[in-house]
């Protein structure tokens, strides 16, 4: 079984059974997972409506976390 960030993410959603299918279909990091839609879930083999809703909700949270972090930045320049 794969032990990557997508596996850990799916495990946190209590859906680790889909990890291999996610990776096999090219969803091997969370940046790619943020693009998941219904056709992707069909290709991955997520057919259970409750599982699909759980994944869609988690993708929404990933996108929201990105938006919240977009306002943050740092600099590598030395401070005076």
Q: Which domain does 14 fall in, by range? A: 5-71
- Copy the structure tokens of residue 5: 């960030």
Per-residue burial over 21-51, b if 16 or more Cβ lie within 10 Å, else e, is ebbebebbebeebeebeeebbeebebeeeeb
Residue 58 forms part of a structural domain: yes
Helix (H) or strand (E) holding 69: helix 49-69
Which of 4, 31, 36, 37 minimizes the C-alpha distance to 19?
Answer: 4
Q: Based on the structure, what is the number of domains in the chain?
A: 1
Provide the CATH number for the domain around residue 18. 1.10.150.50
pLDDT level of residue 66 (50, 70, 90 thresholds): confident
Q: Which residue has the higher pLDDT, 2 or 69?
A: 69
In this prediction, residues 28-33 reach a mean pLDDT of 92
Provide the whole-model pTM.
Answer: 0.78
Residue 60 forms part of a structural domain: yes
Residue 76 forms part of a structural domain: no
In this prediction, residues 14-27 reach a mean pLDDT of 95
């Amino acid at each position: 079984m794969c032990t990557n960030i997508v596996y850990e993410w799916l495990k946190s959603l209590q859906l680790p059974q889909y990890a291999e299918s996610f990776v096999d279909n090219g969803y091997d990091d969370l940046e790619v997972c943020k693009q998941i839609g219904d056709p992707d879930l069909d290709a991955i083999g997520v057919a259970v409506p409750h599982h699909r809703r759980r994944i869609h909700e988690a993708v929404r949270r990933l996108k929201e976390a990105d938006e919240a972090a977009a306002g943050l930045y740092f600099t590598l320049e030395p401070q005076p």
